[in-house]
Amino acid sequence: MRFREDSPVTWLLTLVLVVALAVASRSQSSAELSPGSADLIRPEELVKALQSPTKPTILNVGPRMIYVQAHIPGAEFVGPANKPEGLEKLRARVGSLPRDSFVVIYCGCCPWEHCPNIRPAYRELKQMGFTRLKVLFIATSFGSDWVEKGYPTAKGEK
Amino acid sequence: MTKKAAVVIAVIGIAAVVYVHRRTVSHQASSSNPPAPAITLTDLNGNALSPSGYKGKVVLINFWAAWCTPCRAEIPQFMALQERYGSRGFQTVGISLDDPESTLRDFCREANVNYPIVTGNQRIAEGFGGVLGLPTTFLIGRDGLIHAKHEGETDFRKLEQQIQDLLRSSAQN
């Protein structure tokens, strides 16, 4: 069968292909870091990890404005990951880390499914080969899901 | 004392107890609400927005950002509230955190926002006790106190009820 550019069949098949790719891409991004994902760590679990002798490297990949008001003690600011310069900062920070390091990234800028920072950061670190990467699950905001729960907090720049 | 007099005294007594109780409850509710910060803001047109300018009004402060999808989605509803209640002493102010002014101007022009938008900063956010996520919305009563805080996506049914309640109350409550 030959496909002609001006053939309705060709156009229809092209349309079907585009729609299928769009649906597949959307399914992948909505499944990625879904609430049941093994790559997530819940706030109460991270609090326990902070008290253990082998603390993770904690990286804040969200907006600086929120980080300076409050952040997890020991967390380093390497954001925002939705901007090229933020991703570059993230790459530079983790570049020298062993790929089996326990690393936790978090944001908390806005409701989880809409966060523009956490998924780009996650993909970047996965591509770099980090095998013990965890993403802190913050459902609504850093304020309501961490600070207001009374978990440890620090202020200012680091 | 006649039976009629006793009934009248009893009714007056009950009314007095109810009045004092309501004053006490509303005072307690007010004293647990922090005062809104006395910060002068400047909108995108260079107009100063000072606390004295909003004295006696019910003010909604919405912290948002143009990169924040749920924040942008809420703006038409804030515009609708402004349209509906603006003539009754209600004022919305949008404070953008983390957006360049050019982005805000473009957004406001395209969306035809009907309330002032200002560029926020850390000092302003901390004046409200910290804004640690977007969207975050505060409701300030005619008494200058913060009566409600909504974090994350706003429950607009609840918010509108709160606005109506605050518009009904006077500044003395």
Q: Can you give the CATH number for the domain in which A84 is found?
A: 3.40.250.10
pLDDT in tens, A39-62: 999 999 999 999 999 899 999 999
Which pair of tokens denotes residue B38? 């006395």
How many CB contacts within 8 angstroms connect chain A with chain B? 68
pLDDT of residue B13: 60
Percent of all residues in chain B with a pLDDT value above 70, rounded to a whole number: 82
Question: Does residue A116 sit in the same domain as residue A89?
Answer: yes
The DSSP result for chain A, as a single string, is -PPPTT-HHHHHHHHHHHHHHHHHHHHHHHHTT-TT-TTEE-HHHHHHHHTSSSPPEEEE-S-HHHHHH-B-TTPEE---TTSHHHHHHHHHHHTTS-TT-EEEEE--SS-GGG-SSHHHHHHHHHHTT-SEEEEE--SS-HHHHTGGGT---B-S--
* Interface-testing mutation among B124, B132, B151, B155, with chain A (most A C-beta atoms within 10 A): B132
Question: Does residue A58 sit in the same domain as residue A77?
Answer: yes
Domain hosting A27: range is 1-31
- Between chains, do A114 and B69 touch, taking CB under 8 Å as contact? yes
Number of domains in chain A: 2
Closest residue, chain A, to B135 (C-alpha): A110
Question: Does residue A7 sit in the same domain as residue A39?
Answer: no
More confident residue, B170 or B117: B117
Question: Does residue A38 sit in the same domain as residue A67?
Answer: yes
Question: Does residue A57 sit in the same domain as residue A118?
Answer: yes
Q: Among A1-15, B67-81, B158-172, which range has the highest average pLDDT? A: B67-81
Instruction: Tell whether A45 is covered by a domain.
Output: yes
pLDDT of residue A11: 80
Closest residue, chain B, to A138 (C-alpha): B133
- Between chains, do A144 and B125 touch, taking CB under 8 Å as contact? no
The Cα A92–Cα A86 span in angstroms is: 10
Question: Does residue A11 sit in the same domain as residue A48?
Answer: no
| Residue B125 bridge partners (DSSP) | none
pLDDT of residue A82: 95
pLDDT of residue B3: 73
Chain B residues with CB under 8 Å of a chain A CB are: 65, 67-71, 97-98, 121-122, 125-126, 130-136, 151-153
pLDDT of residue B22: 44
Closest residue, chain B, to A115 (C-alpha): B68
Instruction: Tell whether A158 is covered by a domain.
Output: no
When pLDDT is cut at 50, 70 and 90, the band that residue A33 belongs to is confident
Question: Does residue A77 sit in the same domain as residue A114?
Answer: yes
Percent of all residues in chain A with a pLDDT value above 70, rounded to a whole number: 87
Q: Which of residues 10-69 of A touch B (CB under 8 A)?
A: 63-66, 68-69
Enumerate the domain spans of chain B.
Answer: 1-32, 41-168
pLDDT in tens, B93-136: 999 998 888 999 999 999 999 999 999 999 999 999 999 999 99
What is the complex's ipTM, to 2 decimals? Answer: 0.79
Question: Does residue A86 sit in the same domain as residue A54?
Answer: yes
Kindly tell me if the per-residue pLDDT of A135 is higher than 60.
yes
Instruction: Tell whether A82 is covered by a domain.
Output: yes
Whether omega before A80 lies within 30 degrees of 0, making that bond cis, reads yes
Could you say which of B65, B121, B132 has the minimum Cβ distance to residue A147? B132
pLDDT of residue B68: 95
pLDDT of residue A2: 60
Instruction: Tell whether A157 is covered by a domain.
Output: no
- Between chains, do B65 and A140 touch, taking CB under 8 Å as contact? no
When pLDDT is cut at 50, 70 and 90, the band that residue B12 belongs to is low
What is the pLDDT of chain B when averaged over all its residues? 85
pLDDT of residue B51: 78
Closest CA to B114 of B163, B60, B38, B68: B60
pLDDT of residue A117: 97
When pLDDT is cut at 50, 70 and 90, the band that residue B28 belongs to is very low
pLDDT of residue B5: 74
Is residue B67 classed as helix, strand or coil in its secondary structure?
Answer: coil
The Cα B110–Cα B64 span in angstroms is: 17
Question: Does residue A120 sit in the same domain as residue A80?
Answer: yes
Instruction: Tell whether A155 is covered by a domain.
Output: no
Could you say which of A69, A70, A144 has the minimum Cβ distance to residue B151? A144
Instruction: Tell whether A156 is covered by a domain.
Output: no
Kindly tell me if the per-residue pLDDT of B26 is higher than 60.
no
More confident residue, A90 or A1: A90
pLDDT of residue A23: 58
CATH of B41-168 given 3.40.30.10, 3.30.365.10, 3.30.1440.10, 2.40.10.10 = 3.40.30.10
Question: Does residue A57 sit in the same domain as residue A131?
Answer: yes
